[in-house]
């Protein structure tokens, strides 16, 4: 069965600092990979996705993620964090004919 | 283009009661998926509907059931509510399974 791990439950960074959120998945083939963001009490917003091709994908709000097959990872990055980025971030994986599996999430706090 | 909408926003039910949650999919999307998100956890897949047929189900008991209508809107029904059913219920629409777009959710509290 597919699984997604996000090793960091909570990360705190200062505004303007760089950010990397980790995501590892367990699946035999290359799945489709996603990052979603959730503000308190809200639904999930799609940040970016990877289906195939270039392993570095750009998303909204200045986020990017890199797919590394050898490490089964899809880490999310942002060069300079803004206070409005404080939220919960979820990595998700899906394969054809299957359904989304989400990681447990990483809560991001931003210090002024 | 209208996004995914869900109703109601919040509701409170008593243990043993039944509840129906509603979802309107994004224009042009033929697939609706439902998720349960307990506090502090990631969303857990309940089931998916594609063209009015159930198209996959997660590890949820039969008292969780659903419907999809010809306009691709959907309902989630939960019978015999338990305290552990308290959660945020998320609906997502898509063209098949890829790139799901989520609604704002319905917060269900069972007392």
Does the pLDDT of residue A30 top 90, yes or no?
no
Which pLDDT band, with edges at 50, 70 and 90, does B9 fall under? Answer: very high
Would you call B45 and A99 a contact, using CB atoms and an 8 Å cutoff? yes
Exposed / middle / buried, residue A96 (Cβ in 10 Å: 0-12, 13-18, 19+): exposed
Does the pLDDT of residue B111 top 70, yes or no?
yes
A66 vs A47, B38, B42, B108, CA distance in Å? Answer: 13, 29, 22, 36
Q: Is A39 on the interface with B (CB under 8 A)?
A: no
Q: Is A98 on the interface with B (CB under 8 A)?
A: yes
Is residue A1 classed as helix, strand or coil in its secondary structure?
coil
The partner residues of B53 in beta bridges, in order of sequence, read B50
Note the pLDDT tens digit of each residue in A42-96.
889 999 999 888 999 999 999 999 999 999 999 999 999 999 999 999 999 986 5
Does the pLDDT of residue B106 top 60, yes or no?
yes
CA atoms of A96 and B98, how far apart (whole Å): 8
A98 in Cβ contact with A35 (< 8 Å): no
Would you call B102 and A94 a contact, using CB atoms and an 8 Å cutoff? no
Which pLDDT band, with edges at 50, 70 and 90, does B86 fall under? Answer: very high
Q: Is A7 on the interface with B (CB under 8 A)?
A: no
Which pLDDT band, with edges at 50, 70 and 90, does B87 fall under? Answer: very high
Q: Is B7 on the interface with A (CB under 8 A)?
A: no
To the nearest whole percent, how much of chain A has pLDDT over 90? 78
Note the pLDDT tens digit of each residue in B15-72.
999 999 999 998 888 899 999 999 989 999 999 999 899 988 999 999 999 999 998 8
A11 vs A8, A34, A37, B36, B43, CA distance in Å? Answer: 7, 19, 14, 24, 20
Q: Report the pLDDT value the prediction gives residue A83, as an integer from 0 to 100.
A: 96
Query: Residue A12 CB: number of other CB atoms within 10 A?
Result: 11
CA atoms of B110 and A74, how far apart (whole Å): 37
**How many angstroms separate the CA of residue A80 from the nearest CA in chain B?**
26
Among candidate residues B66, B59, B110, the one with its CA nearest the CA of residue B84: B110
Residues in CB range of B71: below 8 A, 6 or more apart: none
CA atoms of A52 and A57, how far apart (whole Å): 10
């Amino acid at each position: 069965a597919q699984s997604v791990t996000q090793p960091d439950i909570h990360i705190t960074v200062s505004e303007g600092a760089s950010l990397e959120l980790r995501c590892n998945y367990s699946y035999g083939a290359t799945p489709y990979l996603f990052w979603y963001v959730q503000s308190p009490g809200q639904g999930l917003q799609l940040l970016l996705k990877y289906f195939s091709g270039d392993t570095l994908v750009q998303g909204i709000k200045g986020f990017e993620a890199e797919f590394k097959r050898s490490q089964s990872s899809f880490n999310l990055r942002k060069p300079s964090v803004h206070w409005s980025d404080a939220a919960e971030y979820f990595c998700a994986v899906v394969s054809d004919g299957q359904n989304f599996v989400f990681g447990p999430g990483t809560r991001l706090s931003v210090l002024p | 283009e209208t996004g995914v909408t869900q109703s109601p926003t919040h509701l409170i039910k008593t243990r043993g009661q039944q509840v129906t949650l509603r979802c309107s999919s994004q224009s042009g999307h033929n697939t609706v998926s439902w998720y349960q998100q307990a506090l502090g956890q990631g969303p857990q897949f309940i089931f998916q509907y594609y063209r009015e047929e159930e198209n996959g189900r997660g590890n949820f008991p039969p008292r969780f059931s659903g419907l999809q209508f010809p306009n691709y809107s959907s309902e989630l029904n939960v019978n015999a509510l338990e305290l552990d059913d308290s959660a945020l219920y998320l609906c997502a629409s898509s063209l098949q399974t890829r790139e799901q777009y989520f609604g704002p959710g319905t917060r269900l509290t069972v007392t």
